[in-house]
Structure 1
Amino acid sequence: MSETEPNALAKIRNIGITAHIDAGKTTTTERILYYTGVSHRIGEVHDGNTTTDYMDQERERGITITSAAVTCEWKDHRINIIDTPGHIDFNIEVNRSLRVLDGAVFIIEGVAGVQPQSETNWRLADRYNVPRLIFINKLDRTGADFYRAFDTLKEKLDIVALPLQLPIGIEDQFLGVVDLVEMKAIIWEGGELGAKFHDEEIPADMAEKAKEARQLLLDTALAVDDAGMEEYFEHGDVSVETLKRAIKTGTISGAFRPVLCGTAFKNKGVQPLLDGVLDYLPSPIDVAGIKVAAEEGEDENTARRIIKADPKAPFSGLAFKIINDKYGTLTFVRVYSGTLKSGDTLMNTTKDSKERIGRMFQMHADKRAEIKEVTAGDIAAFVGLKDTHTGDTLASADDPVVLERMSFPVPVIDISVEPKTKDGVEKMTLGLQKLAGEDPSLRLKTDQESGQTILSGMGELHLEIIIDRLRREYGVDANIGAPQVAYRETISKAHTETYTHKKQSGGSGQYAEVKVLFEPLERNSGIVFS
């Protein structure tokens, strides 16, 4: 790091962008990449040319299937962004992304408000205690209503939502926002793809509403900042720096959730959202750190050691995503502590094995830039790890910690899959094993009774995409169908079978009568002789 370590860490943000299907996650990410100078054109979902939706299936269907990591710079800060899917079938991507991020931007649709997948993802973020900003998007759409969408936050998520902005105009008349922190209006100008905007006085017809919202902001934010409250009582107001500090404190603690607004598609509101990410979401040193895993039999709620972000501490990192491409296996790792260089050797403490670190990359969706060193707070991809899977911990032999593992959902649907030709059996098995290695919500097994290969996933779309990837990436055309059921017969009521044995062999002869009573038992209790 070029600066002193704490200063450098304070200028890193690891965030995810998550929402219900079609709320504008990828569109917002595209604008962020454009305004931060990473992209020189704005990709559109409907044109199939976005940066983070790089898979063929994503571009054809206009949906995000796999989470994609990108990095950008904004006002001398580095922001690592993971754009996640909105479809429930790909919820594993949201799960593992939120697990390793320090903050998240939840995008809420301005017409529908909070939708079902928004609630699911919100509960996931609650589980991992991720600080959040809320961005009410698509305020240019017909039927958009900021205040109605805002009300759904309380109704459906049961949170203290705190507006930092109010919209100026709505639908096709949406012009900009009122910034309640600095009490000014931000108006976007036409032409330059939203890159140009200016500040002006708050419109007279909004002055009273802005004053009320500002007072709510002060009352709520300063309740978590004693020094700020004293400043308010002494001067009747607080400085912008004090207010931002209080908002950040409340955001990290979860006391309230800041709300911003705009329309990413029409390029309005994205720059203040980026400012909000820097001002209110935590850097790696602002969060408590990550707990080590509980020992076997230990209560999950017991106090456990916490690994803090420190570049000088022994290395620890969590593998949270694996992809296979033409260059080999890429393992995405969130670094929590220490510094690592190419050529170093680490312990996979989950499996008690060693891994030598070869090449390392900073990822930009499907593009990559080689790096020689990673340090606390970084997200990077390691090439060619042999025995590391999603959820495994990589750590220095000096301090072989095991970090808290991820929890993965149980598949809900099964299909049978077989190659159309005999030549494809080996290729199909290899391809499915690699795809299952990438996706912990995908399970592969062979039914011992029917001999069928059974693929289990999170839904029909999930499995459809997997079969399509099998065809495109591994060259295997497969037939799919419902798994065969091996039926068994059993008796339903008691029955007595009697056998009489008679044999005359001279003398007294032989005679016997044998009775056998058959009775049904509880299902799955097997056969019992008594």
Structure 2
Amino acid sequence: MTLREEIERRRTFAIISHPDAGKTTLTEKLLLFGGAIHVAGAVKSNKIKKGATSDFMEIERQRGISVATSVMGFEYGGCKINILDTPGHQDFAEDTYRTLTAVDSVIIVIDGAKGVETQTRKLMEVCRMRKTPVMVFINKLDRPCKDPFDLLDEVESELKIKVRPLAFPISDGPTFKGVYNLYENNLSLFTSDERQTASGHVEVTLNSPELDGYIRPFTTRLREDLDLVEGVYEPFEREAYLRGELAPVFFGSAINNFGVRELLECFIRIAPSPRPSRTEQREIDPYEEKMTGFIFKIHANMDPNHRDRIAFMKICSGRFERGRNYLHVPSGKSMKFSSPTAFMAEKKSVIDEAFPGDIVGLHDTGNFKIGDTFTEGEKLKFTGIPSFSPELFRYIENGDPQKFKQLAKGIDQLMDEGVAQLFTSKMNGRKIIGTVGALQFEVIQYRLEHEYNAICKWEPIQIYKACWIQSDNQAQLEDFRKRKYNSLALDKHGREVFLADTSYALAMAQEKFPDIRFYFTSEF
């Protein structure tokens, strides 16, 4: 295949939602249709001890939630599909925000009973900022749900995007019969009792005499609903979807395999192949001959037996080849990778080449950080991969004096993942961890103990906000350093950070030192 053909058959997208809307279950079912797995693991079921394919960290299996983005690739219908399953919990939002920089489109999952929830709104803001095309999957129709038209109105008003249903449900809850596919004008009814596999659907058209036999007593209502859809919503326009102005909507029940095939079939037809990426220097077109890519995530201990770190690199242009030299722009060094990997959550396989849209795992010994760029020689820096200012802070202390080295190594590696940030106080050298959510502290403590054999203790500290500081007025900067010595720290990369203990202290500092710039994300 030519480079152009390889790029055009790629679909890289993230699945995002509020916690518990069924995002990980939908991921499982998409993998099932793609033949990547043969039986789905029920995420929270105690009967099936497998756990979800995408939740591979021990703590994720115990809690039944996703705490890290996982990457899965499979082939379907002639397309190479890369799914990034993101954490829904707001305490892990930063991982999700960064993941959205590496995808070309997004599927938002909404719980049909609860409608649009807080976290969904926040994530939609990020998609809108980046003009990312969005599809909506309204899930859990096997349970009593809100009226489909009310749900469509809610999506429009809450997510501030026009919608167009491309599938429509036939009833909900115990009487749920299936979905009518408006994109292909046929009806999918699932008669299979074996709900963990993707088999058993029948297709009939709207005017077919057998229809009544399948969906009685909902035949008349379905026809009326579909007339209303055609009357109220404008015809689907792919260009508006690609501009991020229109969201196609699908209904279904991921756990029971209803409506998932319709979503996948339509997705591979309308979703965009890799799009241009922005760097500080210029726009990168995916069809350029030369390879460029950036690291959007680092995961320590993908395999706890080997203590390995994997950097996730999104290929933005050209062809990535195993064993070939590439420039690591921040260090200026040339590097080659003997075993770059493709992912199926924690399962990895070595690949010889990758194309724009693919996510490649690079073994990392501690040289890489989030946002690093690889090229064939050109000095580029990709933009829009932020680290947000943390909102919660605690001192981290060693719980076992004999494990000092293990703790230092563990903190160092986990902070590189970007899940939390490390600050070292200038006054007393104590280490402070800052996160965007309280659950992160539990995750860090758990992973230090189980992956690094180190015990940590947390101590409270009063900090309102961490902000990075810079100034061209050297005298004012020195004065600030003397007056605020007790509140200054260094981040992991040696940059100066002001740890304001109250909102008042921050406001006064900004007022009294007008020549100092205070930054609330690390991208400056």
Shorter-chain TM-score tier: 0.7 to 0.9
Paired letter, 2:199? A
Paired letter, 1:427? Q
Question: For residues 313 and 14 of structure 1, what CA distance do their matches in structure 2 show?
Answer: 20
Check if 1:248 corresponds to 2:216: no
1:386 positional shift: 5.1
Decide whether the 8 Å contact of 1:132 with 1:281 is kept in 2.
no
Greater shift, 418-427 or 83-92, is seen at 418-427
1:348 positional shift: 2.1
In structure 1, the residue matched to 2:204 is 200
Check if 1:417 corresponds to 2:396: yes
1:343 positional shift: 2.1
1:220 positional shift: 4.1
Check if 1:308 corresponds to 2:285: yes
In structure 2, the residue matched to 1:408 is 387
The 5 A counterparts of 1:201-280 are 201-202=205-206, 203-217=219-233, 219-221=234-236, 247-280=237-270
1:427 positional shift: 1.6
Question: For residues 128 and 389 of structure 1, what CA distance do their matches in structure 2 show?
Answer: 23
Check if 1:159 corresponds to 2:161: yes
Distance 1:417 1:403, change over 3 A: closer
In structure 1, the residue matched to 2:100 is 98
1:100 positional shift: 0.9
Paired letter, 2:95? E
Paired letter, 2:37? S
Question: For residues 484 and 102 of structure 1, what CA distance do their matches in structure 2 show?
Answer: 40
Question: For residues 410 and 125 of structure 1, what CA distance do their matches in structure 2 show?
Answer: 20
1:148 positional shift: 2.4
In structure 2, the residue matched to 1:227 is none
The 5 A counterparts of 1:348-363 are 348-363=328-343
Secondary structure at the residue paired with 2:73?
Answer: strand
Paired letter, 1:4? T
1:13 positional shift: 0.6
Question: For residues 295 and 365 of structure 2, what CA distance do their matches in structure 1 show?
Answer: 10
Structure ranking higher on relative contact order (CA contacts 8 Å, 6+ apart): 2
Secondary structure at the residue paired with 1:382?
Answer: strand
Check if 1:323 corresponds to 2:339: no
The 5 A counterparts of 1:70-469 are 70-193=72-195, 194-202=198-206, 203-217=219-233, 219-221=234-236, 247-284=237-274, 287=275, 289-293=276-280, 305-310=282-287, 313-325=289-301, 326=306, 328-384=308-364, 387-397=367-377, 399-439=378-418, 441-469=419-447
In structure 1, the residue matched to 2:8 is 10
Greater shift, 146-155 or 442-451, is seen at 442-451
1:401 positional shift: 2.7
Question: For residues 194 and 79 of structure 2, what CA distance do their matches in structure 1 show?
Answer: 24
The 5 A counterparts of 1:490-529 are none
Secondary structure at the residue paired with 1:401?
Answer: coil
**Number of residues of Structure 1 aligned to a counterpart in Structure 2:** 447
Secondary structure at the residue paired with 1:456?
Answer: strand
In structure 1, the residue matched to 2:458 is 480
Paired letter, 1:195? S
Greater shift, 381-390 or 421-430, is seen at 381-390
Decide whether the 8 Å contact of 1:186 with 1:198 is kept in 2.
yes
In structure 1, the residue matched to 2:69 is 67
Decide whether the 8 Å contact of 1:154 with 1:161 is kept in 2.
yes
Paired letter, 2:280? A
Decide whether the 8 Å contact of 1:442 with 1:455 is kept in 2.
yes
Decide whether the 8 Å contact of 2:24 with 2:54 is kept in 1.
yes
- Tell me the alpha carbon deviations over residues 235-287 of structure 1, each in whole angstroms, 9 at most, x when there is no partner: xxxxxxxxxxxx32221012311101101012211111111210221112xx3
- Tell me the alpha carbon deviations over residues 69-97 of structure 1, each in whole angstroms, 9 at most, x when there is no partner: 00122212111000001111101121111
Question: For residues 104 and 508 of structure 2, what CA distance do their matches in structure 1 show?
Answer: 49
Decide whether the 8 Å contact of 2:101 with 2:384 is kept in 1.
no
Decide whether the 8 Å contact of 2:366 with 2:413 is kept in 1.
no
Decide whether the 8 Å contact of 1:17 with 1:83 is kept in 2.
yes
Question: For residues 5 and 147 of structure 1, what CA distance do their matches in structure 2 show?
Answer: 43
Question: For residues 471 and 327 of structure 1, what CA distance do their matches in structure 2 show?
Answer: 13
Question: For residues 433 and 327 of structure 1, what CA distance do their matches in structure 2 show?
Answer: 13
Distance 1:147 1:215, change over 3 A: closer
Secondary structure at the residue paired with 2:137?
Answer: strand
In structure 2, the residue matched to 1:236 is none
In structure 2, the residue matched to 1:28 is 26
- Tell me the alpha carbon deviations over residues 411-456 of structure 1, each in whole angstroms, 9 at most, x when there is no partner: 10111121222112222111101000012x4111233434432111
Question: For residues 163 and 175 of structure 1, what CA distance do their matches in structure 2 show?
Answer: 18
Question: For residues 113 and 50 of structure 1, what CA distance do their matches in structure 2 show?
Answer: 24
Identity of aligned residues (%): 26
- Tell me the alpha carbon deviations over residues 165-212 of structure 1, each in whole angstroms, 9 at most, x when there is no partner: 111111111111122223332211122425221111333332132123
- Tell me the alpha carbon deviations over residues 137-183 of structure 1, each in whole angstroms, 9 at most, x when there is no partner: 01111344323222211221121111111111111111111222233
RMSD over equivalenced CA pairs, Å? 2.2
Distance 1:36 1:109, change over 3 A: same
1:356 positional shift: 2.8
Secondary structure at the residue paired with 1:95?
Answer: helix
In structure 2, the residue matched to 1:231 is none
Point out where structure 2 has 5 or more consecutive residues left out of the alignment. 207-218, 464-482, 484-506, 514-524
Greater shift, 423-432 or 22-31, is seen at 423-432
Distance 1:201 1:342, change over 3 A: closer
Decide whether the 8 Å contact of 1:23 with 1:107 is kept in 2.
yes
- Tell me the alpha carbon deviations over residues 353-372 of structure 1, each in whole angstroms, 9 at most, x when there is no partner: 43332310001100101112
Greater shift, 107-116 or 443-452, is seen at 443-452
Paired letter, 1:208? E
1:523 positional shift: 7.4
Secondary structure at the residue paired with 1:359?
Answer: coil
Decide whether the 8 Å contact of 2:298 with 2:416 is kept in 1.
yes
Secondary structure at the residue paired with 2:293?
Answer: strand
Distance 1:176 1:314, change over 3 A: same
TM-score after normalising by structure 2: 0.81
1:35 positional shift: 2.0
- Tell me the alpha carbon deviations over residues 371-403 of structure 1, each in whole angstroms, 9 at most, x when there is no partner: 122222321111236532111111111x33322
Paired letter, 2:278? K
Paired letter, 1:280? I
Bigger radius of gyration: 1
Distance 1:206 1:405, change over 3 A: closer
Question: For residues 382 and 213 of structure 1, what CA distance do their matches in structure 2 show?
Answer: 48
